[in-house]
Amino acid sequence: MRRLPPLGAIEAFVQVARLGSVKAAADELALSAPALSRRVQALERFIDKPLFARRHQAMVLNGDGERLLAQIAPVLDALSDAVEAMTSGTEVLRLRLGILPLFASQRLFPRLGELRATHPELHLDIDTAGHGVARLGDGLDAVIALARDIDPTLYAKRLDRNSVYVIGAKSLLEGPNAVTRPAQLAELTALVHRDMPDTFTAWRQSAGLTSLEPLAIDHFDSGPLMLEAAAQGLGIAFMHASHFEDANDPRLVRLFDIPVESPYSYWFVCRPRALQQKPVKLFHDWLIATLGEDR
């Protein structure tokens, strides 16, 4: 049998690659930073190639490192799952799911009890960090993404179609300066999610107000914080109808009854071969039956 590098060296390499920091990876593996560095260096000596570009307080994968990570990270994850299943005494199926916090809190988590009752052996590791689609196969098995469309080389199933709403504080409809006309947007700050950068433009075009400019545009990477900012009167949020309806926040109102189809949808995304994995297939089938657009 071909000789393999020590498992500890492989584990150290994967953790540093995923976290980008020797210190963070050492904390994760309960090692000292020098001990972890020695493990990574041992792997580099074994394959006789550097795997990282070393920068101040950061470790960035080079080309060889990226290729190695893509091949061994899924295998290491599968090995970890197999050991967990054996030591727990029961079958454990683990899905590493990338998801946006707002979709998770509004639409997925209220239904997870049904999933647990149907598949008690299936457990989810939730990852709300960004760029989930790009990390498929590298720590993530599947992603629920918000996007215009998905790379055709990936498997994707659309979960919804939506409308763009203009969402603001209820107080905006009160008093002598109540906001009732789109032209008044010139006096307000627009709140836009970084994953939905074209919502304001799509709404403005559909409303026939192509020259309209808000006072400013503030960008968020958190849907819940956008809704809270709107409720606090810090601006008006350009978000989906489902975000407004699922929030059910009495402090918020929809402004301007103008129908605008959103260019964005939520999608279930994974690599095609991942559907052959039992955890991915179980979750996919349950999700589509429960939350899919054709349910």
pLDDT tens digit at each of 295 positions of the chain: 567 888 888 888 888 888 788 888 888 788 888 888 899 898 889 888 898 887 766 788 888 888 888 888 777 777 776 666 665 556 678 999 999 999 999 999 999 999 999 999 999 999 998 788 988 887 899 999 999 999 999 999 999 999 999 999 999 998 888 998 888 989 999 999 998 999 999 999 888 888 889 999 999 989 999 999 999 999 999 999 999 999 999 999 999 988 899 999 999 999 998 888 889 999 999 999 998 765 4
Output the pLDDT for position 122.
93
Q: Kindly list the structural domains of the chain, giving each domain's residue range(s) and its CATH number in brackets, ordered by start.
A: 7-68 (1.10.10.10), 91-160+265-291 (3.40.190.10), 164-255 (3.40.190.10)
Q: What share of the chain is helix, strand, coil (3-state, %, to 5)?
A: 45, 20, 30
Output the pLDDT for position 59.
81
- CA dist 118 and 282 (Å) reads 10
Q: E strands, 11-162, where?
A: 52-55, 58-61, 93-99, 122-127, 142-147, 155-158
Burial 73-107 (b: 16+ CB within 10 A, else e): bbebbeeebeeeeeeeeeebbbbbbbbbebbbebb
Task: Read off the pTM.
Answer: 0.69
Output the pLDDT for position 9.
87
Output the pLDDT for position 293.
66
Output the pLDDT for position 70.
82
Longest CA span, the chain:
82
Output the pLDDT for position 21.
82
